Amino acid sequence: MNSVVFVKYVPDTETWIKVARDGKSMDPEGVKWVMNPYDEFGVEEALRLKEQFGGEVLVVSFGPPKIKEIVLQGMAMGADRGLMIIDDAAQQSDPWAVARALVAGIRDFDFDLIFCGQRGVDQDQGLLGPAVAQLLDIPQLLMVQKVEVAEDQKSLRVHRPVEGRVLVLESSLPAVVTTTKGLNEPRYATLQNILKAKKKPLDTASLSDLDLDAAEFGEEARKIKVEEMSLPPERPPITMVQGETPQEAAAELARLLHEEARAI
């Protein structure tokens, strides 16, 4: 059972985000970068399938040189190999272009499953998994919370939450699975495994190495263009409801809702 996991470098969800001077992008200064949390579920699930069936796990990322940190993290968790696709011409590419680069990067890897997070916590687009499946012409199973691979390793069954219910889907392999919270609990990399990761195969490729045209990547080639980026409006200050007793507090809350909030 060979698995590929696509991982993305994103701002930590606890990082304070500022808009850059161009009004269209995020200011990277002072930002802490981490592996996309939804991608961590994919790494963990691929490792569990490897432990069950054997095989290899390849972790792949696309972006600036700093992506080495998250590729090594995946390898320290237990992945066998890593691939970084780094090219200055590819920065600010849209999800379709990123998917093309990732697919080109794994063309020589005999995979059964491809895992990636159901969305990136930076832009919340959720387009990478479907784009990869479209390019490879294989099934896609989105927002999965449970994966069951058949003993013959030719098919799988997944559980997907849908409006308070669970949708059970079956598919042949190979397939693309996008992972979400509830699928598993990602393991931590031990110090011993962090040291081992530095000795595992880690390849780097550019767009030209993958026979891709740099003119079809980058900000100018985007099919999805960002016109403006702004922070949400500041929330109004919190009003503390006063009252000596629960009855007084309830009466004061009702007054505030009626007279100030005009909600009732």
Instruction: Give the count of alpha carbons within 13 A of 156, CB side only.
Output: 22
Which two tokens mark 254? Answer: 């009702």
Query: Tell me, what DSSP letter sits at residue 59?
Result: E
pLDDT in tens, 145-157: 999 999 999 999 9
Residues written for the chain: 264
> Is the pLDDT confidence value at 74 over 80?
yes
Query: Tell me, what DSSP letter sits at residue 26?
Result: B
pLDDT at position 70 is: 96
pLDDT in tens, 104-146: 999 999 999 999 999 998 888 899 999 999 999 999 999 999 9
Task: Give me Rg for the CA atoms of the chain.
Answer: 22
- Cα 12 from Cα 142, distance rounded (Å): 23
**Domain 3-221 class in CATH:** alpha beta
Domain ranges of the chain: 3-221, 235-264
Among candidate residues 82, 153, 94, 90, the one with its CA nearest the CA of residue 123 = 94
pLDDT in tens, 242-262: 888 999 999 999 998 888 878
